[in-house]
Amino acid sequence: MSLSVTDLTFRYGRRQILDEVTFDVASGQFCALLGPNGSGKSTLVKAIAGVHRPASGTVTVDGTDTATLGRREHARVVGYVPQHGDAPFDLTVREAVVLGRTPHFGLAPTTQDWAMVEDAIERMGLGDLAERSMSELSGGQAQRALIARALAQDTRVLLLDEPTSALDLRYQIETLQLVRQITREQGISALIAIHDLNHAARYCDQVVVLHGGHILTDGTPQEALDAPTLRDVYEVDVEVHLREGVVEVRPRIDEHGYTLTGSQIGSLADAHVAFDPADEPVGARR
Amino acid sequence: MTATATRRTRPSPPPEPAAAPDRARRRDAGKLLLILGGTVLSALALVVSVTIGTVGIGFLDVVEAVRLRIFGGTLEADFAQAYAVITELRLPRVLLAFIAGAALSVSGVLMQGLLRNPLVSPFTLGVSPAAAFGAALVITLAGTNQLSPWATIGGALVTSLAVSAFVLVLASVRRMAVATLLLLGIALTQIFEALTSALQFTASENTLQAIVRWTFGSVNDATWTDVQIVGAVVLLALPVTLWFSKDLNAVAFAGDDAARSFGVNVGVLRVGLIGLAVVLAAVVVSFCGIIGFVGLVGPHIARLVIGADHRHLLPFAALSGGLLLLVADAVGRTVIAPAVVPVGIVVAFIGGPMFVYLILTRKNALK
């Protein structure tokens, strides 16, 4: 197992955000982290990235507990791509990507560091834009520069926090395909927090559904994405189909073009809303 | 798999081209050349600036005086007066102007980078109003304008450092966000300006004059001791900032979360380097009075010339800030000679329009 998260718990003050989260992502696997707003996706990604310190629980990479690593060592093992990277100062794409080498070099980047940077830029298809200023890039290009930065960091684990949320369809698909390709080629473990269920089903090998700080399901897209769970988590009446071997999730529409949401879900005859108290959001239980 | 999924967006990367990293290293070398060029220009400007004044002194006189001062030798009788003017009056003032400008500019780079805001200056956290209040308090308590300069310097330094320490301790204990820190600075600025105004309101004619004169930043009474103290602080601070320039890049360009994921201890870095920045600003303000704009404009000029990478920006900003204040002082000494306009006033006249020009012409300068 490459990335292994065990009993990870995180609190903001007295509010519990993550409650004993446990899951594994194998090497070469691309795992989607799903869940509604406020379910703790972003917090989980940041806790694994070392941005937040968890209250308890362990994160291991290739068998090494990351809590035993120093800051720089940790940064050489786990890479993180934030949702967006708004810099208040202008810098070129190359300058932005070399930031990923921060945990690797001393005072100045070496020839090898620059080679890694150039390689990451080429992989992300930014070769012609390396000298451009970041502020001139489109949203999709800027997002690819952030991923290139994480690639230059050369880590065993790649974490992405909703990198596709602000992108148009083409860049969403390109980004996901690139990450999947890199994951397979490099044999790294990738975890992506994402909102689009169908993208997750199509491009990821594994799906973890987070709800109120708990993991509800964890498995292949077919195993993890079933209609009752999704209705329960998102409070939207959905139907799940298998289309050409890929799971597809759609809101169920009645003859008036209306989809049941929120508390209306309870009136469904086939809702299967089996409400185990343990599944109730931690935030609600307090 | 469907057609859309099988069509890969990018082919596998080609083998590493060797030329690209060389280009990157050459660019680094080019920037080092720029810094070297700036250093040579600064040295020339310092010498030229010494020649400016009512007593006619040539370029070679300055070189000769510096040579005598450093390496010793016999001082010819007909050169004695020029030598005294150069070494006792002009050299300390131009050096203090240059060093003060460098300190404020480096301090500005640190503050802008750490607070991730190109509009902040060394004085954003209330350093200069606190220093002004400290000086004003000492002058008021002494009730005279014939005070030893050390008393006002001490008063200004103690209050400005105490206020900065208060802000930084509060910021780290309460884990303040950057925006909160900026608001705290605004509040402290208002409070200390009000306190100084209150002192001015109750001051006598003599002390009021002394308080107001103190706030005009100037290098008129520069001594070698001033140069040595401020210079020592700058010489100690610069290597420290360069050592952390890589981490500063991570925080300034990638943000706190990403910088942490690169292994940077963001909290300690921010408090430590802001601490260094306010010490630089507080020392300069205490010795020279309030000199605005250098800490804001110096970093922007440097960024336009050499780029935003702090490894090169920090040393270059020291040069740009030093030169800016050097030129401002030279202008202040010549524009209505023999009277001398305080450098704090001149630099605002030069820096203000320059800043407006930068804002209007380079849309990326502040982005």
Q: Distance (Å) from the C-alpha of residue A201 to the closest C-alpha of chain B?
A: 12
Please report which residue ranges of B244-265 form alpha helices under DSSP H: 245-249, 255-261
CB contact under 8 A, A70 and B252: no
Interhelix angle A111-123/B19-51, rounded to 10 degrees, is: 120
Q: Sorting pLDDT into bands at 50, 70 and 90, what band is B362?
A: low
pLDDT of residue A269 exceeding 70, the answer is no
Maximum pairwise Cα distance, chain B? 96
Residue A183 · residue A26 · CB < 8 Å: no
Give the one of B4, B117, B243 whose C-beta lies nearest to A88's C-beta: B117
Domains of chain A: 3-220 (3.40.50.300)
Q: What angle do CA B141, B133, B286 make, to 5 degrees?
A: 100
- In chain A, which residues have their Cβ closer than 8 Å to the Cβ of B109? none
Lowest mean pLDDT among A81-85, B144-148, B258-262: B144-148
pLDDT of residue B91 exceeding 50, the answer is yes
Interhelix angle B91-114/B59-71, rounded to 10 degrees, is: 90
Q: Give the residue, B328 or B89, on which the prediction is more confident.
A: B328
Domains of chain B: 41-361 (1.10.3470.10)
Instruction: Please give the average per-residue pLDDT across A73-101, as a whole number.
Output: 89
Q: What is the ipTM of this complex?
A: 0.87
User: Per-residue pLDDT tens for B37-90?
Assistant: 999 999 999 988 888 876 778 888 888 888 888 887 777 777 887 888 888 888
Residue B157 · residue B147 · CB < 8 Å: no
pLDDT of residue A22 exceeding 90, the answer is yes
* B305 in contact with chain A, both atoms CB, cutoff 8 A: no
Strand A56-61 relative to strand A189-193: parallel, antiparallel, unpaired? unpaired
Mutate to test the interface with A, among B110, B243, B261 (most CBs of A within 10 A): B261
Q: Given this model, what pLDDT does residue A252 score?
A: 86
Cross-strand partners of A243: A246
Q: Given this model, what pLDDT does residue A146 score?
A: 92
User: Per-residue pLDDT tens for A182-225?
Assistant: 999 989 999 999 999 999 999 999 999 999 888 999 999 988 88
Q: Distance (Å) from the C-alpha of residue B102 to the closest C-alpha of chain A?
A: 21
User: Per-residue pLDDT tens for B260-295?
Assistant: 999 999 989 988 998 899 889 989 988 888 888 899
- In chain A, which residues have their Cβ closer than 8 Å to the Cβ of B112? 89
Q: Looking up tokens 């890039």, which residue turns up?
A: A137
pLDDT of residue A1 exceeding 80, the answer is no
Instruction: Please give the average per-residue pLDDT across A225-242, as a whole number.
Output: 87
Q: What angle do CA A243, A247, A251 make, to 5 degrees?
A: 95
Sheet holding A64-65, edge to edge: A15-25, A3-12, A56-61, A64-65
User: Per-residue pLDDT tens for B299-312?
Assistant: 998 988 888 899 99
Instruction: Please give the average per-residue pLDDT across B227-245, as a whole number.
Output: 94
Q: Give the residue, B26 or B121, on which the prediction is more confident.
A: B121
Q: Given this model, what pLDDT does residue B4 score?
A: 41
Spatial CB neighbours of A163, under 8 Å, sequence gap ≥ 6: A81, A83, A143, A146, A147, A175, A192
Question: Residue A127 burial by CB count (10 A; 0-12/13-18/19+): exposed, middle or buried?
Answer: middle
Rounded to whole angstroms, how far apart are CA atoms B360 and B337?
Answer: 33
